[in-house]
Amino acid sequence: MTTANTPRSQELTFEIDGPKITADELRRSFGAFLDVINEVAREVSGIPHSVDWIVSSVSTGSARIHLRAESISKILPTHNIPDLLDTIQIGFQIIEGTSTRPSHFNDSALRKIRELASIVNGGQDGPDSIIIRRDGQINSVTTKTLSNVDSFFGTESKDWGSIEGKLTGIFERGGYKLWVYDDLLRKNIPCQVPSELLEEVLKAFGKRVSVSGLIRYRRGGEINNIVIEDFEVFPDPRSLPGFDEVRGLFRSAD
């Protein structure tokens, strides 16, 4: 616990735990967390890129990734970094405890928090907890987080983004469409396919893919559908690195 005379740290820790965490679940959950803190930093500073997040260490057991924030802009100087981290930590605390939108948490940040909460509440043998740590303070992402984020979105909305999953169906009904089954959200997402991507899409049937474009959200923040602008096929998941290999990559990056 910090006191008035204790310097505030410039570090955040992301922690995910569960009986079995795949490399894909780690990558997607940590990616969503990075999206949240980058959006908050953008709202605080008013510019797209004011902070670099440096991986200071990675711990096994429950997967813990320790990040150190470094200023790369005079608009958000080093001495203001602890204030940014306070804003992030307090924001997670507010979202978990109330249905009040935290300061500097825009719609994109909230949707990524919803994604985090959906990942941790997916059931089965996957992740069962996600925790954000700083200076001895602990905030969890839970089903209550999911419910509170849903309350922020009273109307349908649109935003650019991406989803990942297995291409499970292709059909023609008022234009070409496909189903992408998102393993973490446990649901099929309908996607509209432009004709110029149709041949590439047909070859990818049954494979894991990433689709990006304009996402339409229902009231409550759930994805309704996506109009595809970019399409990527992933390699066979059996060829993806395990956690120890991912940990080695973080060490190399550091």
What pLDDT, on the 0 to 100 scale, is given for residue 103?
Answer: 94
Please tell me whether residues 162 and 147 are part of one structural domain. no
- Within a domain: 5: no
Give the domain CATH number at 215. Answer: 2.40.50.140
Please tell me whether residues 130 and 31 are part of one structural domain. yes
Please tell me whether residues 133 and 186 are part of one structural domain. no
What pLDDT, on the 0 to 100 scale, is given for residue 67?
Answer: 96
What pLDDT, on the 0 to 100 scale, is given for residue 247?
Answer: 57
pTM of the model: 0.69
- Within a domain: 250: no
Give the Å distances, CA to CA, from 214 to 122, 157, 159, 229: 25, 10, 6, 8
Please tell me whether residues 128 and 211 are part of one structural domain. no
Please tell me whether residues 234 and 142 are part of one structural domain. no
Please tell me whether residues 191 and 146 are part of one structural domain. no
- Within a domain: 244: no
Where does a domain end: 106, 126, 152? 152
Please tell me whether residues 70 and 179 are part of one structural domain. no
What pLDDT, on the 0 to 100 scale, is given for residue 5?
Answer: 55
DSSP, residue by residue, 121-149 = T--TTS--EEEEEETTEEEEE-HHHHHHH
Q: How many structural domains does the chain have?
A: 2
SS3 content of the chain, % helix, strand, coil (to 5): 35, 35, 30
Q: What range does the domain containing 68 cover?
A: 11-152
- Within a domain: 1: no
How would you write the pLDDT of the chain (254 residues) with one tens digit per residue?
Answer: 444 555 678 999 999 988 888 888 888 899 999 999 999 999 999 999 999 999 999 887 678 999 999 999 999 999 999 999 999 999 999 999 888 899 999 988 998 998 888 888 655 667 888 999 998 899 999 878 888 888 777 666 777 888 888 999 988 877 788 899 987 777 899 999 988 888 888 889 999 999 998 888 876 667 888 989 999 998 875 655 565 665 555 555 45
Please tell me whether residues 226 and 174 are part of one structural domain. yes
- Within a domain: 248: no
- Within a domain: 227: yes
In sequence order, the 6+-apart residues with CB closer than 8 A to the CB of 90 are: 102
What is the SS3 assignment for 171?
strand
What pLDDT, on the 0 to 100 scale, is given for residue 248?
Answer: 58
Residue with tokens 């109307």: 155
* Residue 44 φ then ψ, to 5°: -70, -45
Give the Å distances, CA to CA, from 225 to 91, 120, 121, 174: 28, 22, 22, 15
Where does a domain end: 152, 169, 197? 152
- Within a domain: 140: yes
Give the Å distances, CA to CA, from 243 to 14, 44, 249: 15, 33, 10
Integer Cα distance of 30 and 249 in angstroms: 14
- Within a domain: 84: yes
Please tell me whether residues 132 and 81 are part of one structural domain. yes
Please tell me whether residues 130 and 199 are part of one structural domain. no
Please tell me whether residues 27 and 148 are part of one structural domain. yes
Please tell me whether residues 85 and 166 are part of one structural domain. no
Q: Indicate if the alpha-carbon torsion angle 29, 31, 37, 40 is positive or negative.
A: negative
What pLDDT, on the 0 to 100 scale, is given for residue 119?
Answer: 83
Where does a domain end: 152, 177, 206? 152
